């Protein structure tokens, strides 16, 4: 069975859409990164988001990103690769670049580090992991916790949707769910109102669990427009992705979101993408009699391919 990483490998990106700007060396926003002023850029309105207390404020351990550019380029994603340092995959769909750099991890973070820095991966963790507990395990622990949290959440969502666990066999074994960890960095920007942190998109996952400490994340609410999602200490943001949109027959619509450059300091976020195994076929489930499915059945791998081809038309392309 192929992995999520192998599926993305089949949709390579041009190098141009991988290498981020050297944010440390610029004093003005270059034209390549200057976005037309958009509605809601200056908005300081907070949206009200339902919050769930999961009794575990420590579920995520935030890790600082790699610091020097030299180290960063050593970790650059290859054109055919899915993991490593670089621009967001969606970059090629926009004619301006974003004020963003990220690091994508699929599978074990420790294996990933060993692969990148066979001789000094330990040094990497010691230098860059938060100065607490065992540096070696910090990412692995965090990832395991996230997997547990995602599984718990998924069970509850299925219960609500009246989808039998039989139909989601993969859920019993967390190791076969496709997961990815994305470390996002939004460097200090000399002119925040002209730059875009992360352009509007919906995630491809069932849902994404996001940790943010500084504001900047906005979601688009029908009839309201763009509004900020307030960071709450000890709480995580859950963004519904396209795959849950399909599975739930749009009862959980995927959330259009973006990141604006609000603050005058660097912003970090950590996103955990949770999806079924790549060969799993998704279709609207748990429909009561009389309800018609709105989407054709699609495998996770095929849907990833549709998004890679046309970001904003993928969902519409499988609409019945
Ligand atoms: C498992 C995932 C989910 C990915 C692709 C792959 C790894 C990186 C994720 C992101 C992270 C940044 C936004 C996004 C839109 C992007 O460009 O890369 C995400 C995308 C998706 O949700 O489609
Ligand atoms: O940085 C954020 O708050 C959002 C990140 C995001 O949307 C993503 O990684 O998909
Ligand atoms: Fe996202």
User: What pLDDT is stored for residue 145 in this prediction?
Assistant: 85
The answer to whether 305 touches 223, Cβ cutoff 8 Å, is: no
Q: Which atom of ligand 1 is the closest one to the Cα of 91?
A: 17
C-beta of 257 in contact with ligand 2 (< 6 A) = yes
C-beta of 212 in contact with ligand 2 (< 6 A) = yes
Rounded to the nearest 5 degrees, what angle is found at the Cα of 64, between the Cα atoms of 63 and 65? 115
H-helix or E-strand containing 115?
Answer: helix 109-116
85/77 Cα distance (integer angstroms): 5
Residue closest via CA to ligand 2's atom 1 equals 269
Beta carbons within 10 angstroms of residue 273's beta carbon: 25
96/30 Cα distance (integer angstroms): 10
pTM, whole model, 2 decimals? Answer: 0.82
Query: In testing the pocket of ligand 2, which one of 205, 210, 241, 263 has its CB within 8 Å of the most ligand atoms?
Result: 210
Mean pLDDT of the chain: 83
Query: Tell me, what CATH number does 300's domain have?
Result: 2.60.120.330
Find the mean pLDDT for residues 224-235. Answer: 92
User: What pLDDT is stored for residue 171 in this prediction?
Assistant: 87
User: What pLDDT is stored for residue 49 in this prediction?
Assistant: 61
Least confident of 146-160, 169-183, 221-235, 275-289: 169-183
Radius of gyration of the chain (CA): 19
The residue ranking higher by pLDDT, 71 or 291, is 291
| Domain membership of residue 262 as a residue range | 4-317
User: What pLDDT is stored for residue 70 in this prediction?
Assistant: 55
User: What pLDDT is stored for residue 141 in this prediction?
Assistant: 73
User: What pLDDT is stored for residue 122 in this prediction?
Assistant: 64
Beta strands of the chain (E only): which ranges?
46-47, 84-86, 101-106, 178-186, 196-201, 207-212, 217-221, 225-229, 237-240, 257-260, 267-275, 281-282, 298-299
Least confident of 107-116, 153-162, 217-226, 262-271: 107-116
Q: Which residues are catalytic?
A: 267
Find the mean pLDDT for residues 120-139. Answer: 52
The answer to whether 314 touches 202, Cβ cutoff 8 Å, is: no
User: What pLDDT is stored for residue 13 in this prediction?
Assistant: 87
302/118 Cα distance (integer angstroms): 34
The answer to whether 102 touches 182, Cβ cutoff 8 Å, is: yes
Question: Between the CA of residue 42 and those of 38, 182, 196, 218, what are the distances in Å?
Answer: 9, 26, 12, 11
The residue ranking higher by pLDDT, 243 or 61, is 243
User: What pLDDT is stored for residue 131 in this prediction?
Assistant: 43
Checking if the pLDDT of 121 tops 70, the result is no
Report which of 67, 212, 61, 83 is spatially closest to residue 128, judged by C-alpha positions.
Answer: 67
Find the mean pLDDT for residues 107-135. Answer: 60
Q: Please report how many Cα atoms fall inside a 13 Å half-sphere around the Cα of residue 202, on the Cβ side.
A: 27
C-beta of 184 in contact with ligand 2 (< 6 A) = yes
DSSP tag of 76 = B
Find the mean pLDDT for residues 219-244. Answer: 93
- pLDDT tens figures, 24-62: 889 999 999 998 877 677 777 777 665 544 443 433 332
For residue 107, the ligand closest to its alpha carbon is: 1
Q: Which of 14-18, 65-69, 104-108, 205-209 has the largest mean confidence?
A: 205-209
Q: Give me the torsion for CA of 136, 142, 143, 145, rounded to 10°.
A: 130
Checking if the pLDDT of 22 tops 60, the result is yes
The number of folded domains in the chain is 1
Q: What is the ipTM of this complex?
A: 0.98
Checking if the pLDDT of 286 tops 60, the result is yes
What is the three-class DSSP state of 274? Answer: strand
Q: Each residue of 140-155: b (16+ CB within 10 Å) or e?
A: eebbebbbebbbebbe
Contact residues for 276 (Cβ-Cβ < 8 A; gap 6+): 168, 170, 177, 178, 206, 243, 282, 300
Checking if the pLDDT of 127 tops 90, the result is no
78/173 Cα distance (integer angstroms): 30
Checking if the pLDDT of 98 tops 60, the result is yes
- pLDDT tens figures, 152-176: 999 889 988 889 888 888 887 766 8
The residue ranking higher by pLDDT, 71 or 85, is 85
């Amino acid at each position: 069975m192929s992995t999520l990483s192998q599926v993305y490998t089949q949709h390579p990106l041009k190098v141009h859409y991988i290498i981020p700007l050297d944010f440390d060396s610029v004093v003005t926003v270059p034209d390549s990164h200057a976005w037309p002023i958009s509605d809601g850029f200056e908005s300081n309105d907070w949206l009200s988001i339902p919050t769930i207390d999961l009794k575990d404020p420590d579920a995520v351990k935030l890790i600082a990103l790699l610091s020097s550019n030299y180290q960063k380029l050593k970790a650059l994603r290859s054109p055919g690769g899915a993991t490593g340092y670089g621009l967001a995959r969606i970059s090629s769909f926009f004619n301006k670049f974003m004020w963003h750099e990220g690091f994508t991890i699929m599978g074990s973070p420790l294996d990933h580090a060993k692969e990148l820095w066979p001789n000094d991966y330990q040094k990497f963790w010691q230098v860059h992991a938060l100065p607490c507990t065992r540096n070696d395990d910090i990412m692995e622990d965090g990832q395991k916790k996230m997997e547990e949290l995602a599984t718990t959440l998924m069970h509850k969502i299925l219960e609500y949707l009246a989808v039998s666990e039989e139909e989601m066999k993969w859920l019993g074994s967390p190791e076969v769910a496709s997961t990815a960890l994305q470390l996002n960095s939004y460097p200090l920007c000399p002119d925040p109102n002209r730059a875009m942190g992360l352009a509007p998109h919906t995630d491809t996952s069932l849902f994404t669990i996001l940790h943010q400490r500084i504001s900047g994340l906005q979601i688009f609410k029908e009839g309201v427009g763009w509004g900020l999602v307030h960071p709450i200490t000890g709480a995580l943001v859950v963004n519904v992705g396209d795959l849950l949109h399909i599975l739930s027959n749009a009862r959980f619509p995927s959330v259009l979101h973006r990141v604006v450059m609000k603050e005058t300091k660097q912003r970090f976020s950590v996103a955990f993408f949770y999806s079924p195994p790549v060969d799993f076929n998704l279709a609207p489930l748990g429909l009561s009699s009389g309800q018609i499915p709105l989407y054709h059945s699609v495998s996770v791998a095929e849907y990833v391919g549709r998004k890679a081809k046309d970001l904003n038309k993928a969902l519409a392309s499988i609409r019945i």
